[in-house]
Amino acid sequence: MAETSANGAAAAAASTAPNKPPYSGKPKRPNYNLIHADPLPVVLYHSPPLIPHNPLSLLHHLYLFFFPPVQSHNVKYIGVFSPVTMSVEVRDPTAVLDLWNKGFWGKGSLSRSEPTWLNRELRRLGDTQVSETSEEITRRRRDQRKEMKKERARKEKEELQKVKEAEAKGTEENGSASSGKPTIADPKVVVGLEAEISGLDETVAAAEHPHPSIPAEETGLPTPPPSSDELNTSDGESKTEVVNIGTETLPVSVPPTSESPPAQPAKVVRFDSNTSTKEIPAQKKVTVQNQEHLQLMLSEAFFLSYALGILSVTTKDSAEPLPLEETFKLYLRYATFPPLPESSTSLTKLNPDNSFLINYVVYHHFRSHGWVVKSGVKFSVDYLLYKRGPVFSHAEFAILIIPSYSRWEGRDENIGKEWYWLHSITRVNSQVKKTVVLVYVDVPTADEVEGWDCEKDGLKNVLAKYKIREVALRRWIPGRNRE
């Protein structure tokens, strides 16, 4: 008796247990915490704690100072300066992968951000050993959103047609009456539905009237269920089974038997597309030459060369690495478009108002504080700040650089922009949930930086003369910020 009750309880528990969703076959996401564990492309080591009263601890620190275990600031990457794109190109595949995984430096020349052109090309040619890229995920989501809008527009159009038919029917029934007001549909409902589907008429028309060469099953819309007339059969006639697999409805004729009842609806068997059998594609390996390279902004390239010392820059005319002074002079020339003439760029008479110097000071400031700094041209700003990187979250802050000439005598502080210029930038960035930060760069005068090339740490002293002030903006909306 106890065993029977236990079996009954187990069966009841099994019947009430929630069913697990079928395996969707989605590939696992890569472990970004492991891939991007290093914030910089340098190898660092942690020194042991210093104990002043312990002589062994002092000796250990002296030994690590003269004989470090890791040479972290050796030149490891080589870039080629391109005057056409005004950037530094890194073409070594190992260096490209290393720079992106350790700090998200640069962008792919044939990609939106991460250099994924090779993986996209391999997947296009049928390689089954390459995972899905971020561009393909974005494209799939957009296609799904488009299909959802098509289906919603179709249903709304059917609802609007029903409302109009009810309105016409009410008008005909009450039109012959001598007294009374005809009952019609609410005009607000009709106007609201018409306004909602007005922008989707062309999409629905394309879905309802596809190209003649495309069958109706390939338009993306689900196949309607069979009607009741198709399901009912008369006495003595053969019974029809309707098997719906995926989006196809297949009628199967079944001969009548003496045991079967004379008049019953046909059996409808529907299989979910997730539970249907799927053919496993054959493994395929494709070999393609990578045609993509990594593009570094001038500020990024100079930070890797000057602050970290791991990048050497060459030109297309010579394979010899340029000295740091020549690289700095080259960046000063190509910071603006068109580039400055070579005769007007001099290291002896340095112009502190050069746009490269102002942009690099801001870049160096935020990179040294641990932010991942990327170009903000997509949102009409100078830089975008990521807390960890583009693969983890969206940018939180949009940086707008404004030079300040408070130390310049006779120089107007007005930036030369109208009020709607700043209003448009704050509107664009508020729509994408980014905080606009005005970064005022206090530019030193030419007399303050004179003779910097004769000093030992001349460039370091020049950069220290720039002062930075941040002001965060918040868009003020009268309808929401009354209190």
Percent of the chain with pLDDT over 70: 70
DSSP 413: -
Same domain, 374 and 480: yes
Cross-strand partners of 468 = 441
Residue 367 confidence (pLDDT) above 90: yes
- Catalytic one of 374, 434, 440, 466: 434
Residue 39 confidence (pLDDT) above 60: yes
At residue 96, the pLDDT reads: 94
- Catalytic one of 73, 394, 417, 460: 394
Same domain, 217 and 231: no
Same domain, 234 and 216: no
- Residue range 350-376: mean pLDDT, rounded: 95
Q: Judge whether 381 lies within some domain.
A: yes
At residue 85, the pLDDT reads: 92
Residue 373 confidence (pLDDT) above 90: yes
3-state secondary structure of 441: strand
Active site residue 394: yes
Structure tokens at 305: 């060369």
Same domain, 467 and 385: yes
Same domain, 264 and 214: no
Active site residue 45: no
Please answer whether residues 374 and 384 qualify as being in contact, where contact means their C-beta atoms are separated by less than 8 angstroms. yes
Backbone angles phi, psi at 16, to 5 degrees: -85, -10
Q: What is the pTM of this model?
A: 0.68
Q: Judge whether 240 lies within some domain.
A: yes
Same domain, 364 and 386: yes
- Catalytic one of 77, 331, 334, 386: 386
Same domain, 216 and 272: no
At residue 233, the pLDDT reads: 43
CATH of the domain at 456: 3.40.1350.10
Q: Rounded to an integer, what distance in angstroms lies between the CA atom of residue 169 and that of residue 189? A: 17
Please answer whether residues 135 and 120 qualify as being in contact, where contact means their C-beta atoms are separated by less than 8 angstroms. yes
At residue 220, the pLDDT reads: 44
Same domain, 184 and 268: no
Distances (CA, A) of 475 to 222, 269, 400: 44, 57, 15
Q: Judge whether 148 lies within some domain.
A: yes
Q: Judge whether 369 lies within some domain.
A: yes
- Candidates 232, 170, 160; CA nearest to 201 is 160
The region of weakest confidence among 59-63, 192-196, 211-215, 348-352 is 211-215
Active site residue 293: no
Same domain, 142 and 188: yes
The region of weakest confidence among 107-116, 283-292, 325-334, 381-390 is 283-292
Q: Rounded to an integer, what distance in angstroms lies between the CA atom of residue 175 and that of residue 169? A: 10
Residue 299 confidence (pLDDT) above 80: yes
- Residue range 358-371: mean pLDDT, rounded: 96
Same domain, 177 and 140: yes
Mean pLDDT of the chain: 78
Q: Judge whether 431 lies within some domain.
A: yes
Q: Judge whether 425 lies within some domain.
A: yes
Backbone angles phi, psi at 270, to 5 degrees: -120, 130
422-459 residue pLDDT tens = 889 999 998 899 999 999 999 999 889 888 888 888 89
Q: Judge whether 343 lies within some domain.
A: no
200-250 residue pLDDT tens = 555 545 555 544 444 444 444 444 445 444 444 444 444 444 444 444 444
Strands 268-271 and 239-245: parallel
| Radius of gyration, CA atoms only, the chain | 35
Task: State the CB neighbour count (10 A cutoff) for residue 253.
Answer: 8
Diameter over CA atoms, the chain: 113
Domain range for 438: 354-483
At residue 100, the pLDDT reads: 95
Q: Rounded to an integer, what distance in angstroms lies between the CA atom of residue 417 and that of residue 65? A: 52
Of the candidates 221, 237, 263, which is a domain's last residue?
A: 221
Same domain, 235 and 260: yes
Q: Judge whether 17 lies within some domain.
A: no
- Number of folded domains that form the chain: 3
Q: Rounded to an integer, what distance in angstroms lies between the CA atom of residue 174 and that of residue 75? A: 89
Structure tokens at 301: 């390239």
Same domain, 430 and 477: yes
141-189 residue pLDDT tens = 889 999 999 899 889 889 888 888 888 888 877 765 544 554 444 555 5
92: CB partners within 8 A, 6+ apart: 77, 78
407-416 residue pLDDT tens = 888 777 666 6
